[in-house]
C-alpha cells in the first residue's frame, strides 16, 4: 500500500528468511533483510532511539499477552512515538464471549486473568496516555476460532512532550539503561 514500515519484536528467538514450513507467528523476523520493512528492531519499543517519530502504529494480537503494567508502559511508549492526529490500531485476542484478554499460549492459560485485565481496560489506558478512541469493534463467534477479536483505533491527541517526560521518568525509576545510537 506504499507505507514504509518498521517492525519491533523483542523475541530472543530469531528466524532467518526465507520462511520454513514449521514457522508460526512467534519469534523475531528481520523483515528488513527480507525486503518487507524499512527497519526491524529486535528489542522492546522503549529501547528504540527517540527518533524517528512514526506516522502511525499497529499492533496485531500482542498487547493482550502483556501483564497490565507492561501494557500501560507500552501504550505510553506508542503514544509518545506517534505524531498527533495519527492513528494507532490494535487488534486484540479476547476470551470467546467475554471482554477478558486472551492470555493463553496454544490454548493454555499462562497467568491468572486478573494480571492482564479486559478489553475495556485497554480503552481506558489508551485514553489515559493521549490516545482518543476513534473506533471500537468486537468480532465474536467467527467460525471455529477459539477467540473473539477486538479492534481498537485510537487517534493521537495530546502533546508529545508530556509523554517523553513520562518515558524518561519511567526509565530512571526502573533503572533501564539505553545505549547511545
Grid cell in block for residue 3: 507505507
- Rounded to an integer, the average pLDDT of 123-143 is 94
Task: Please provide the average confidence, as pLDDT, over all residues in the chain.
Answer: 85
Quick one: pLDDT at residue 102? 86
Per-residue pLDDT for 161 more than 70? no
For residues 36-45, give the mean pLDDT. Answer: 92
> In whole angstroms, what is the distance from residue 168 CA to residue 114 CA?
28
Q: What pLDDT was estimated at residue 88?
A: 97
pLDDT exceeds 80 at position 121 = yes
For 33-58, what is the mean pLDDT?
90
> Is the separation of the CB atoms in 84 and 156 below 8 Å?
yes
Nearest-Å Rg of the Cα atoms of the chain is 17
What percentage of the chain carries pLDDT values higher than 90? Answer: 55
Q: How far apart are CA 160 and CA 170, in angstroms?
A: 16
pTM above 0.85, yes or no: no
The pLDDT of residue 178 is 45
What pLDDT, on the 0 to 100 scale, is given for residue 92?
96
pLDDT class of 23 with cuts at 50, 70, 90: confident
CA 74 to each of CA 55, 63, 81, 107: distance values in angstroms, whole numbers, following the listed order: 17, 8, 11, 24
Instruction: Enumerate domains of the chain plus CATH numbers.
Output: 1-43 (no CATH), 52-174 (3.40.50.150)
**Three-state DSSP class for residue 91:** strand
Residues 47-99: tens digit of each pLDDT: 988 887 899 999 998 899 888 999 999 999 999 999 999 999 999 999 999 99
Q: Cis omega (within 30 of 0) on the bond before 52? A: yes
**Is residue 43 over pLDDT 90?**
yes
Amino acid at each position: 500500500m506504499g507505507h514504509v514500515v518498521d517492525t519491533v519484536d523483542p523475541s530472543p528467538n530469531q528466524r532467518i528468511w526465507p520462511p520454513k514450513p514449521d514457522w508460526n507467528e512467534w519469534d523475531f523476523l528481520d523483515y528488513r533483510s527480507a525486503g518487507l520493512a524499512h527497519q526491524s528492531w529486535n528489542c522492546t519499543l522503549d529501547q528504540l532511539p527517540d527518533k524517528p517519530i512514526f506516522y502511525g502504529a499497529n499492533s496485531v494480537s500482542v498487547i493482550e499477552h502483556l501483564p497490565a503494567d507492561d501494557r500501560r508502559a507500552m501504550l505510553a511508549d506508542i503514544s509518545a512515538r506517534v505524531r498527533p492526529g495519527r492513528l494507532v490500531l490494535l487488534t486484540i485476542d479476547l476470551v470467546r464471549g467475554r471482554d477478558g484478554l486472551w492470555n493463553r499460549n496454544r490454548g493454555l492459560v499462562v497467568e491468572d486473568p486478573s494480571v492482564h485485565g479486559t478489553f475495556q481496560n485497554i480503552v481506558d489506558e489508551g485514553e489515559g496516555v493521549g490516545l482518543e478512541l476513534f473506533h471500537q469493534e468486537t468480532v465474536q463467534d467467527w467460525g471455529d476460532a477459539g477467540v473473539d477479536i477486538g479492534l481498537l483505533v485510537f487517534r493521537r491527541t495530546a502533546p508529545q512532550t508530556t509523554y517523553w517526560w513520562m518515558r524518561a521518568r519511567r526509565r530512571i525509576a526502573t533503572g533501564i539503561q539505553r545505549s547511545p545510537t
